[in-house]
């Protein structure tokens, strides 16, 4: 090659021009907001030297001059490409807020669409690092059409490859539906926010003053709306968590999750499990203590921790293999199921089923949350989501009933007749149509009304109900559970059960799709 020729000089000039457009001043502006640049984010996500950028030199579409200055920079405000994360192929796009506010124009959208289609074709996860002012106003309907193509691609890839959104700045208007459609959403506290209509529109329409943080900040979406699954204090920690999170997931729906070498630090028999459930059936405990004693040491990665805390969801490992965990949390609302926890659980179960991740269910549920608000807001429909998700799932499914399992909630938490493969119970389990207090109040209403000492009589009747009806041995003898087990051997039992289910295969009916109660 003639290194002094015109073509090579043009090549070098373009390379230099690309470097120069990312100035120190732009980087400092991002850093002053507590944000990294798009290139810095990409460097942190991917294994050193493995990222290969695509379409770095494309330029924005022509725009009418009267609607503002056209920034003729290379790349059109988004970096796209592929590389290795923990040694595995991953595709990504990173919007660059320093170029036209990371706004989405037609070329910007085409770049994202191209990398989405490549990820699907190669069967690899895709990560979207989002930091954008939204649709590019100057390009009108073309930018809106670009969003539609991106959404369509997400939907086509759903359940085939993991799709993860990392919101690291603004995401407003139509842009918010991109993360909402993906499998998991990470956000960074104080620097990222999402909303369909911004503070200015809220003020104009409703005459209410609200900041971007109050309207759609990370904390709001992690605690109240449930749109964000994980939030962290800064971008570095967000990206570190993202990389750890990916280590639990397969690259696509025809692979099994990656295997990690088990260091043998977690004993198969642990007597500490015998002491977790309080003697008082109405006293709370932390179900995460049970989780962490069952799965491989330090392997629990919780999802949606701040949202619907009465149910715990997350990933862990058993002998180095990824499992999904769904557990009622007695510390929050006594572990009842309500609208938010049902939606949270159903979505997590469906993700696990799509990506060949076996599900462990730890049940301690007194029922569904009663009340006018829940009924009027549709607890029937939302609770049915959990039923549908568990019944539909064909991955290995194991349930351990720790304590309470009453009424419809017993059925919902992966009961055998709903399709659970193995169902175990601790001796502390209480399985019945309803709790002893409520059952006795109905069954012995007349006797209690006529008694001279109703409190003492009720106490006796509650004990009798527990002994004769609400105990796991009745369910065991009737075959509604497989075995009452010593809590200390829980890990050993579920490891053996999951191994037995490793070749599970279910033939599903031919249909376009079911009609989930959304």
What per-residue confidence (pLDDT) applies to 210? 92
* For residue 82, pLDDT beyond 80: yes
pLDDT tens, residue by residue, 112-147: 999 999 999 999 999 999 999 888 878 888 788 989
CATH number of 271-434+471-500: 3.90.226.10
* For residue 431, pLDDT beyond 60: yes
CB of 44 closer than 8 Å to CB of 236: yes
Lowest mean pLDDT among 49-53, 168-172, 440-444, 496-500: 440-444
Residues with catalytic function: 173-174, 408-409
What per-residue confidence (pLDDT) applies to 67? 55
| Distance from C-alpha of 183 to C-alpha of 188, rounded to nearest angstrom | 17
Nearest to 400 by CA among 436, 364, 357: 364
CATH 3.90.226.10 in the chain, residue ranges: 35-246, 271-434+471-500
Tell me what percent of the chain is helix, strand and coil, each rounded to the nearest 5: 45, 20, 35
What per-residue confidence (pLDDT) applies to 451? 85
| Distance from C-alpha of 229 to C-alpha of 290, rounded to nearest angstrom | 22
Mean local confidence (pLDDT), 295-319: 97
State the pLDDT confidence band at 15, using cuts at 50, 70 and 90.
confident
| Distance from C-alpha of 229 to C-alpha of 241, rounded to nearest angstrom | 12
CB of 405 closer than 8 Å to CB of 431: yes
* For residue 9, pLDDT beyond 80: no
What per-residue confidence (pLDDT) applies to 374? 96
CA distances to 39, 98, 130, 131, 236 from 28, rounded to whole Å, are: 13, 10, 19, 16, 16
pLDDT tens, residue by residue, 349-371: 999 999 999 999 999 999 999 99
SS3 call for 283: coil
State the pLDDT confidence band at 273, using cuts at 50, 70 and 90.
very high
* For residue 166, pLDDT beyond 60: yes
* For residue 425, pLDDT beyond 90: yes
Mean local confidence (pLDDT), 286-313: 98
**What kind of fold does domain 35-246 have according to CATH?**
2-enoyl-CoA Hydratase; Chain A, domain 1 (3.90.226)
CB of 86 closer than 8 Å to CB of 247: yes
More confident position, 467 or 279: 279
């Amino acid at each position: 090659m003639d290194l002094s020729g015109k073509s090579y000089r043009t090549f070098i000039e373009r390379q230099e021009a690309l470097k120069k457009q990312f100035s120190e001043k732009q980087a400092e502006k991002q850093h002053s907001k507590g944000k990294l640049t798009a290139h810095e984010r990409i460097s942190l996500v991917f294994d050193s030297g493995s990222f290969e950028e695509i379409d770095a030199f494309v330029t924005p579409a022509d725009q009418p001059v009267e609607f503002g200055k056209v920034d003729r920079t290379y790349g059109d405000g988004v970096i796209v490409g592929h590389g290795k994360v923990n040694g595995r192929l991953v595709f990504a796009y990173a919007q660059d807020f320093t170029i036209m506010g990371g706004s989405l124009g037609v070329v910007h959208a085409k770049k994202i669409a191209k990398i989405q289609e490549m990820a699907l074709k190669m069967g690899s996860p895709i990560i979207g690092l989002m930091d954008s002012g939204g649709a590019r106003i100057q390009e009108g309907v073309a930018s809106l059409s670009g969003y539609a193509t991106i959404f369509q691609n997400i939907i086509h890839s759903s359940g085939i490859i993991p799709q993860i959104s990392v919101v690291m700045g603004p995401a407003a208007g139509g842009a918010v539906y991109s993360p909402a459609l993906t499998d998991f959403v990470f956000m960074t506290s104080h620097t990222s926010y999402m909303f369909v209509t911004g503070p200015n529109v809220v003020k104009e329409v409703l005459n209410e003053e609200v900041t971007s943080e109050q309207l759609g900040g990370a904390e709001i979406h992690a605690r109240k709306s449930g749109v964000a699954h994980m939030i962290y204090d800064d971008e570095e920690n967000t990206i570190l968590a993202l990389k750890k999170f990916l280590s639990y997931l397969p690259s696509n729906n025809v692979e099994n999750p990656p295997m990690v070498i088990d260091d043998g630090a977690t004993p198969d028999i642990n007597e500490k499990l015998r002491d977790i459930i309080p003697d008082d059936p109405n006293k709370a405990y932390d179900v995460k203590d049970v989780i962490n004693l069952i799965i491989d040491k330090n392997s629990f990665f919780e999802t949606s921790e701040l949202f619907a805390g009465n149910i715990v969801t997350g990933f862990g490992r058993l002998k180095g293999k990824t499992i999904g965990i769904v557990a009622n949390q007695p510390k929050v609302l006594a572990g009842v199921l309500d609208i938010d926890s049902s939606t949270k659980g159903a979505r997590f179960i469906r993700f696990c089923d799509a990506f060949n991740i076996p599900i462990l269910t730890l049940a301690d549920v007194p029922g569904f949350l009663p009340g006018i608000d829940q009924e009027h807001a549709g607890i029937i429909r939302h609770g049915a989501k959990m039923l549908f998700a568990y019944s539909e799932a064909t991955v290995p499914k194991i349930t351990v009933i720790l304590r309470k399992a009453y009424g419809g909630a017993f059925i919902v938490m992966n009961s055998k007749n709903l399709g659970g493969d193995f169902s175990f119970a601790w001796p502390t389990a209480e399985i019945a149509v309803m709790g002893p207090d409520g059952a006795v109040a109905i069954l012995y209403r007349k006797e209690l009304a006529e008694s001279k000492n109703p409190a003492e009589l009720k106490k006796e009747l509650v004990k009798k109900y527990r002994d004769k009806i609400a105990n796991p041995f009745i369910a065991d003898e009737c075959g509604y559970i497989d075995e009452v087990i010593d809590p200390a051997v829980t890990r050993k039992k579920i490891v053996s059960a999951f191994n037995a289910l490793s070749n599970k295969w279910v033939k599903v009916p031919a249909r376009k799709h079911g009609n989930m109660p959304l």
